[in-house]
Structures are given as structure tokens and as C-alpha cells.
Chains A and B, each alone.
Chain A
Amino acid sequence: MTDRSDALTEAVQNARTAGQRVLIMGSGSKRFLTRADTDPGDRILSTEEHTGIEDYRKDELVVTVRSGTPLRTLRQVLGREGQMLAFEPPEFQGLGTVGGAVAAGLPGPGRPWRGSVRDSVLGVEMINGYGERLVFGGQVMKNVAGFDVSRLQSGAFGIFGVLLRVSLKVIPVPQTERSCVLALDREAAHQWMIRMSALPVPITAACWLDGQLHVRLSGAEPAVVRAARHVGGEQSADDGFWTALRDQTLPFFRSIGVACRYVPPAAALLDTDELIDWNGARRWTQRSPDQVPAGYRRFGPGYARDRCRDAGGNRAVAEYQHRLKQAFDPDSLFNAELTDADVAA
């Protein structure tokens, strides 16, 4: 529980003076999304010691956390008060920091219903490439004072600067949660998802894998009970499947490698071995790194760079992303491997 803000700021300023680039690192759990391996010459700026929950106002549904705080710690603290993070960030063997979760912007299985990471971000304090400490957003739900720099940080993999603390919206843990498993083929499951999305059913996750449609229902007891009757299938109160899906510990992910694509939920099914997540909006396929089909992105080295530098192939947008990076970090101090042409991925 230490506040290392000053030390981190000083480290950035020193690096800046020395003309040295830095790699921001939480626990390094998502390193696999940025680069295959760490260069021994990298100057690593670790937030791991910058930990602690600074302000938790449970009545306001807001928590402000230092970026190096382990996700697991935050989860436990919130859980004790019957609250949780809406975006269900993945957690790997207890690893993963709050700063890293926000920077990576990877939401869990509830994404289409509970929103993405940025939807929960209310404010940040960060160090930009000038070595300045800046505060954007705040601790209230509604705030349109100035450009929304805080939400921009989510999914930016740290290219704009070091997050020192973030204020996040939290939600009450649902009163009841129930999982249903239906034996359906892929096509039928997909149609089911499309149909259900137009109905007011308290679904908070829907995923198809290996001939089974998994559905999670959450909310007030009566609503969930009724919906569960409607959905049918085999039912359980256990959320093991969802945690495994979230943290990618299902056997599906432990294979030669995976690639994903983000699509409109009703988009046609392509690949025969696709795992359907997010009610159809995210599809996974098992492929080795050199055989990623067109339209998919490899979930591994290059993933973050594809987003931060190439904007998923959208050239006009990529140009503005580049200018944005310049606006925050003109000397490309931070995570240059994700944005700069001259740094190999």
C-alpha cells in the first residue's frame, strides 16, 4: 500500500532527460499481446509497487485505485461489500494490475450487456510524455468538462502515458446468477442469440462452444428464475465456465494459438471451429500464429500494435491515432514498440 506517484514521475522525467524509452509494465501478464519477448535493453517502468485502494465510496458506486494494485485485491475488497467491476477483467493466476486492465481494455464475457472497460472508467491521473502529472475526469458518473481523455486510455496499452490512479464505476453483485447449458449446433445457437437479444431477458453472457450454448442469467431472483425457465437446458449456479472463459483457461485457448474477430453480433458464421462469444460479437478460432485467416487478429504478439498503430487496418483513423500519440508523447517515450515503425514488434 504505497503511493509511488512521485517516484514514477521522477523516473519518467529522468528517462525523458536521458532520451531513453520506457516500457510500462504492470505485472506483465499481457506482455504476450504486445511482443514475443522482452528485449534486455528495455527500460522497464513497473507500477507493481504502486498499490492501494485510495478511496472507496461504496454508496457512490465509485472506487479510486492506484494502478499497480492487483486486480485480485480489488476484486476481494469490492466483493466484501457486495460490489464488483462491471467489465469483469480477466485475471491470470492472481496476476494482473488495475492499470494494466484499464490500459489493455479487455472486457470479460459480459461485454455486450455490461459494457466495456472504458464504460466503467470515470477518471484517471496519468503521466504524459512531458513528464507532467495530469488529472482527467473525476469520481462522478457524469462529467463532460474537457475532452474525455480518461476513457481514451482504455485499450491504449499505455502509449499515451503511465496511469497512476483510476476511478472506476462499480456495480452491485447481482442478487442471483444462474447458468444454463443447451445442446445446440452452432447455427442454431447463433440464431438463438440473435432472437434473444431483441427480448428483455436478463442475460449477462452467452457463448457457444463444442455443441453447447452457455447462457448466464443475472439479476433479481424472480427475474432470473423466470428467465431460466424460459431458456431451459441444464442449469447450475456455478460460474466456473465463465471464469475459465474470461481467463482463457478453457482447453480451447490452450492450443496452438487463438485469433479473434470483432463483428456485428448477427454477422454470418465463417469458420467451422469458431467459438462464439459476446452473444455473437466476438468469434475465436484456433490457429497457429502463421495461419491466421483474413479478418482475424492473432491474440498474441502484434495484437496491441495492430490496434494502437494500425487501427485494425483503417488508414485514415491510424493517421489520427499517430497524431494523438504525438500530442501526448511527442518523443515516443512510452511503449514505442506499439507505435513506432523503427521499433520491431
Chain B
Amino acid sequence: MQTSLPEAFTATGEGRRAEAILRSCVHCGFCNATCPTYQLLGDELDGPRGRIYLIKDMLEQERVDPVAVQHLDRCLTCRSCETTCPSGVAYGELVEIGRNYQEARQPRGLIERLQRRWLLSVVPYPRVFARWAALGRLAGPFLPRRLRKQLPARPVRRPPPEEVANPVRIVLLLDGCAQRLSTPEVNDSLVELLAALGIRTLRVPEAGCCGALALHLGAASQARTAMASVLDSLSAHLEEVDAVISTASGCGVTLKDYGRLLADERESAAQAAAFADKVMDVGELLASLDARWRRALPVERIAVHVPCTLQHGQRRGDLPAKLLEQAGYSLVPVADGHLCCGSAGSYAVLQPELAERLGENKVAALTNGEPELIVTANVGCQVHLGALTKVPVRHWIELLAPEPG
């Protein structure tokens, strides 16, 4: 597509990337077809092709119009459009540039600012979040039903298994921020699972949020701080581990992207790239093992919800179904698997209406085949969907047990 970005902008690294991405879009509109918000709203401005155009116009005119802000805000960053795009347009990266541009130039209204600041100062910090959660539980009866259901329940922790002697591999497991509070049982059970396979798991509690949330919200500098701190707290262990694992695909996708995200940081660029190379989704780790799987839970019919960050972000959406089938579960067909459930990081908080509609559609698709259990691969989706359906929602790895021998 033709572009005419101001030279001052294309002189910057971001500007060059933006131009290259914009020009690679040929405006065919294929991506609209798989965009969750376009499917709901039917307005070009709420589809990727329109958003790309809005960003192009904003960068060309050097003016941030509220229209552009509104419609970029509505984007889930699910990157379904990237999977669909034949021309290889890096939409995720472009929208990040667009959001940073907006945040840097256009102050939001007070309420929005407070909301975003609250999100950024609470969710990434488990201790702070825990306090809010406790408060929330106290205030529970007064909160709207949906919000109440989304609050993390009081965590039930399991004692860690004995440390694996002579491990076949050593992996570093990141506990994330929100996940640590909402679904700590996921990582606990992974540690057990890996131990049974002779894999030692290292956990570094001081490693905080990966920065994904700040990235979503266009808070570039805060994101960089978070990423730097993760690198800092992990650098000492990096040598000794074979892989860095996350069970939240939303974190995984960001961690894998550290090399690009920090490419401009003179000091940490190389370290970030080396780190990113070691990051694996838990599914990739499990699939790479020479293990045979059996069912860990006495259920038959499973519906799989593949998080966007796994299927569109990491392009490994095939893994959960593959391993669950190997373990002997029967998977019910789920329509429109490519569509986002509406959780999308802070989206459920900032765009509650759309998030709820997407969530309801998703639950309808997931429960259509009458599964006993829904599984997913990201904490955000798990909590979001859990609040919308009576069918229990779990992380898929909780369903796996290694076949002995």
C-alpha cells in the first residue's frame, strides 16, 4: 500500500518498521473475516484492515484522532488477523507502535487514566494484587456478579515434590503475576508432572511480570522496566537451564519476543535475544519429550479453547489437542476456534461489553458439544471463561499424566 509518512518519523527505528509493515498490506480484507471485533460490529474501523488504515492516517497526518484511539482500544491484540494475512503483515507490531504513538501524544481522560494506572500498578504485582483480591472478596457481596467471579479465589497451594536428583533436563518455570494468585495449582501440578519425567524445575519468585500488560496498554517505558527486571532476576540462572517455560501463553508470547522488544537497548539487547531463544511454551516442552501420556482426570469429553497467544501469537495452537488426544481424551468439535474469548489481557476490564459478548459466544461454541470439562492454556482465558460457564475450566496440562516406563 502506498504510504507517505513524515521523514522525521521514518528516520526512527519505529518509523521504519511502521512503514515497512504498512507497505506490506495490500488491503485485501481477508483479515476482517477472522477478526473477532469485526465479526461482532461489522464496521471497517473495527477490523484489522481499517485499523491499519487508521494507524497509517494517524502517522501520516501526525494527529491522534479520538476515532483512532477508540478503535485501537477495541482491538484485542489477538493477532488472528496475522494468522489469516497472506501477505505476512506484522499487525501486532504495528498496533503496538500505533498505541505507543497515541499514548505519547494524546492524554486520555481522567477516568481512563486512573483505570489504566490502577491496572498497571496492581495486576503485575502479586502482592499488591493479593491485597486487592482480599479486599474484593470482603466486598464481594457488593460487587457485580461477573467481577466477583473473576476475583481470584483464596489460593490452595500444594507442597512441592522432592527435588529431582540427576535430572534429564532443568527448566526454569516462570510463575507470572496474575497467574500466581489466580491459578497457582497449574504450575504446582506441572512441577509434579515434570518431576515424574525426571525434569527438575527451577522457580524464581522474585521474577515479576513479563511486561505484557504494559505493552498492551501502550505504556512503553513501563513495559521496558518490567522486561529489564525479569532479565535481571533470571540472568544468574540462564546458563544452567535448558529452557524457560511459561504455562501462560500470554506471557510466553511476550517472553519469546524479548529479542525484538529490547533490540534498541544497547546494554541488554544481546542478553534479551539469548533469553528469548530459550523460551518455550509448556506444550512445546511436553511435545519434545519422549513421553507417552495417559489421562490424569477421569473425564472423557473435553472442549479445548486455544488462547490467541498460543495459536496466533506463537503459532503452536495445535499442541494441546495433539497431546490430549494422545492421552486418550475425546475432543468435542468447537466452532470458530480462531476467535478470541474476549479476555485478552486487560481487555475484559477496559472493554467489558465486547469482552462479555465475545465470552458468551465462545462459551456457546465450547459447550455446544456438551463437554465435561473445558481446557485452555492461559490464565486470562481460564478466569474469564470460568466466570461465564458452569462447566469447569482448567489448564490443559493438569489433565496429563505420564505413562510409566
Complex A–B touching at CB under 8 A: no
A residues apposed to B, CB below 8 Å = none
Could you tell me which B residues sit within 8 Å of A by CB distance? none
